[in-house]
Structure formats: C-alpha cells, structure tokens
Amino acid sequence: MDELINFLRIPSISALPEHAADVRRAAEFVRGWLAGAGLEHACLIEGDGNPLFYADWMGAPGKPTLLLYGHYDVQPPDPLEEWITPPFEPTIRNGNLYARGAADDKGQLFILMEAVARTLRNRGRLPVNVKFLIEGEEESGGEHLEHYVPEHAEELKADAAVICDTAMFAPDLPTLTTGLRGIVYGEIRVQGARQDLHSGDYGGAAPNAIEAAARIFCTLKDRSGHIHIRGLYDRVQRPSAAELDAWRRLPFDAEHFRRTEVGSPELTGEPDIPLLERLWARPTLELHGIRGGFTGEGSKTVIPAQAVAKISLRLVPDQRPEEVVTQLHAAIAEAAPQGVTARFELMSASPACVVNPEHPLIRKAAEAMQKVFGRETVYIRCGGSIPVVGLFAQALGIPSVLAGFGLPDDNIHAPNEKISVSNYTRGIEAMMEYFARAGS
C-alpha cells in the first residue's frame, strides 16, 4: 500500500497545464515500478500531450493475452475546501483510503499492477501474457490513445482488455459491467441581435439568445424526460428480458438511491421506464450550462445577443452517433425561436457498447471474482461512457472485462474521493485468480 500512497501523492491533474510536470512524474513512476516488477519493454510513448505507457510480459506462449488498461492522470481536486484531508495527502480513515485518484483510477490501476507484480514475485512467471497500456489524458480528453491504438493494432493484439475503472454495484457484491452508454457532446450556438442590447430599450422587440437557447432545449426534451428529436428512438434496443429480470433482482432501492446519492426531493426521468433501465439503457439529454449574458453579482439589464448551451445525449445500443448528430441538427434548427439563428457544434461522439457475458474471458473473470468475494458476480451496465472500451472493440476487435472495485459512493470527480481498502486488497486477489483461470 505504501507504493500506492506514493503514487497518489503525485498531483497528476491532466486538465491543468501547471501540473504537466506532475503528470509526467506519474508516468515515470508507473514505468519505474512496472520495470522493477519484471515487465519488459517498459517505455513511455510520446504524443502531443501526456505520454502513454507500454510494457509487456509475453512469456506464456499459447496462452491468452490480456491488454491491461488504466490511466495515471486524475481530475482536478476543486473545491479544495470540501476535502477533509488534502487530496494529495493520502489518508486512511474507517477502512477507506482517501485521495484524489484513489478510485479513479490510480488505486484501481494499482490493483492490476500489483496483481501482475505479485504473481511474478510468487511464481516467477505469469499464467497469461499481458500488455499494459496506460494513458495520462483520460480526464482531459486527449487524443493520444485514440490515435495510437488503431495505428498499433498489431503490437497491441490481445484476446481481451481488462479495465479496473468502474464500481461494484454494492459493497461486497462482485460486479462486471457489460454495457456502457455512448455519448454525443456539443454546443448549441445561438445568435440573436448583432450585440447585447438594453432590456429597457429593446425588451419587447429584440430576440434574447439565452432565452432562445433555453427554449430550444426545452423543446428537445419535455418535463417527463422524453426527448423530442425526430428518429432518435428508432434504433433504441431494449435490453433482453433476461437482462431486465437480472436488474430487477439487484439489491437496489430507488428511495435509498434518491436520498443518499442524489439528494433531491424527487427523481426524474421517463415515468414508465424502470429506474435502472433509465440510467443504463435509455437515451438521455442533459443541459450542462449556458454561457452568455450576465451571470455575475448585481443587476445588469442585458438582452444577450449570443448564447452557447453545452448539451450531451447519452446513447444506447444500437443508436449510431452520426445519425443522432444529423437528427440533432435538424431538431435544433426546427426548435429555434423567431429572431435567432441556432446551430449545433459537435465536440465528441462515441457509440454505446455492450459485451457478451458468455465470452470465456468474461465468464472466467466473473468466476474469479465470485471465488474471492464469496458471492455470485452480477452483471450490470453503466450509464456513462468509457470511450476506450469502444476503441478496443473497434480497433482491436476485443471485448473488455470491466472488473471494477470502486463503490458508488467513492466520490470520483468530487471532494473526498476514496477507495475501500478491503476492495483494493480483494481486487488484487481477484485479478490474480483471474490470471490463473484465464491461463488454465
């Protein structure tokens, strides 16, 4: 654990340029550590931004090859004042290790690193071949990995990827994630008058760009959470009856979820769709913020001429991002009120992703986790997007084993991020067990 704590001390915040040296220090840490553990070809691969790390151990010919993925960069720690102990001074309290990156993803990446290192230490060899591919731009949207993987598909050839960057459904409940939503993220850009105008002199005649952005959004999505973008639901596949049935059996209490995780007076979303299906298998549309006008202290009576609404759609199988973007363009043009022009500017898009739980390398992971945790592994989906899963599927043609050892209340991307110490140690055991089973 000391080594993990040293790793967590490095403020490798990829979104903040002033931490560039720290990010590199974290990459060097990984390289030194895995080279020391006996991995071969350990090297940093430079790109425009933060380096990728690669290392392998290919001494098990005829055995499966696992591509072990993680990221050494972390989210910014703001707001700092809400941390009980400082984000980069890792501290153990009540069985949890608190630090930025404890769960996302340094702590979980270390589960893979430790599992490999211990196996090598114990047996002198691994039961499978492994290739580590670790990036430093996951939290900042860098494109190094996205370009590198398809261009080096041959070197990265493997039978499955293993990613520890998700959460268990509940404490002590071993969990594999078998589906992720896709995403279309972009900006609705609205132009009304030529320049900002005074609401006294022009209120009643001039278009208001912020109002228009609000109106467009409210036209695209109604109060019930239903999205009004023509064609959007055409390809939406409901999960199988078996999958829906398994979800119903999960230990999940919507009221507890509302109270402890969301903390709002009520939950929202399509009323006739069960909650987990809404979160995991329904397209959703969110308004992240509207830039423009006056939002400071005091009063300014401006009619804003410009507005930028940041929005995203979560996609589910079998929606096609390009098609959704086309539908979105049309819907925004149609929803634009009188007096403004509005266009959609795409920033990123990736499709939803599902893996087959019957794949042998997925099944063996479930069995290994069941053995260590003493309970049957559950299969869940995740409402978020992990673009690397789609990247590995597309560029390498391999499924990803999403074996997460975080917990829903780990506060990733928030103050007081943590990982359960017992999940961390059981995670290492489970991964060691998995390597053994995968190689058997």
320-379 binders of its own copies (CB under 8 A): 337-341, 347-348
Whole-angstrom distance, CA of residue 136 vs CA of residue 215: 39
The CA distance from 163 to 389, in Å, is 9
- Is residue 292 a contact residue for its own copies (CB under 8 A)? yes
Number of residues lying near its own copies (CB under 8 A): 82
Least distance from C-beta 70 to its own copies, angstroms?
18
Amino acid at 173: L
Q: Which stretch binds its own copies (CB under 8 A): 92-100, 148-156, 304-312, 430-438?
A: 304-312
Instruction: Answer yes or no whether residue 200 interacts with its own copies by CB under 8 A.
Output: yes
Interface with its own copies includes 272 (CB under 8 A)? Answer: no
The per-residue DSSP string of 292-343 comes to -S--SSS---EE-SEEEEEEEEEE-TT--HHHHHHHHHHHHHHHPPTT-EEE
Least Å from the CB of residue 200 to its own copies:
2
Residue 275 engages its own copies in binding (rule: CB under 8 A): yes
Integer Cα distance of 239 and 237 in angstroms: 6
What distance in Å separates the CA atoms of residue 133 and residue 308, rounded to the nearest whole number? 37
Question: Is the separation of the CB atoms in 261 and 409 below 8 Å?
Answer: yes
Please report, as residue ranges, which positions from 399 to 438 form the binding site for its own copies (by CB under 8 A): 412-414
| Smallest distance from its own copies to CB 348, Å | 6
**Residue 390: HSE in the Cβ half-sphere, 13 Å Cα cutoff:** 20
Give the interface segment with its own copies, choosing from 33-41, 194-202, 236-244, 430-438 (CB under 8 A): 194-202
Give residues 31-60 in contact with its own copies (rule: CB under 8 A). none
**Residue 173 β-bridge partners:** 170
Residues 92-111, interacting with its own copies (CB under 8 A):
none
Could you say which of 71, 278, 426, 437 contacts its own copies (CB under 8 A)? 278
Give 94's contacts (C-beta < 8 A, 6+ positions apart): none
Of 64 and 293, CB closest to its own copies: 293
Nearest residue to 411 via CA among 118, 54, 82: 82
**Is residue 123 near its own copies by the rule CB under 8 A?**
no
The smaller minimum CB distance to its own copies, of residues 279 and 378, is found at: 279
Question: Residue 61 or 79: which CB sits closer to its own copies?
Answer: 79
Q: Shortest distance, CB of residue 295 to its own copies, whole angstroms?
A: 4
Q: Which helix (H) or strand (E) holds 285?
A: strand 284-291
Which range, of 21-29, 124-132, 197-205, 426-434, touches its own copies by CB under 8 A? 197-205
Query: Binding segment for its own copies among 24-32, 48-56, 302-310, 395-403 (CB under 8 A)?
Result: 302-310
Beta bridge partners of 45: 52
Min separation Cβ 31 and its own copies, Å: 28
CA distances from 399 to 79, 325, 407 (A): 37, 26, 23
Of how many residues is the chain composed?
A: 440
Q: Least distance in Å: CB of 351 to its own copies?
A: 14
What track of x and - describes contact with its own copies for positions 207 through 246 (by CB under 8 A)? xx-xx-xxx-xx--x-x-x---------------------
Which residue's CB is nearer to its own copies, number 37 or number 340? 340
Does 17 participate in binding its own copies (rule CB under 8 A)? no
- Angle between helix axes 209-220 and 321-335 (nearest 10 degrees) is 130
Q: Which of 302, 330, 395, 436 binds its own copies (CB under 8 A)?
A: 302
b/e map of 213-240 (b: 16 or more CB within 10 Å)?
A: bbbbbebbbeeeebbebeebeeeeeebe
User: Is 17 strand, coil or helix?
Assistant: helix
Of residues 121 and 288, the one with the C-beta less far from its own copies = 288
CA distance 382 to 155: 29
Nearer to its own copies, 132 or 280 (CB): 280
Residue 313 Cβ, how far from its own copies at the closest point, in Å?
A: 9
**Nearest distance in Å: CB 207, its own copies:** 5
In degrees, rounded to 5, the angle at the alpha carbon of residue 96 between the alpha carbons of residues 130 and 78 is 90
Is residue 77 involved in binding its own copies (CB under 8 A)?
no
Name the minimum Å distance from CB 336 to its own copies: 10
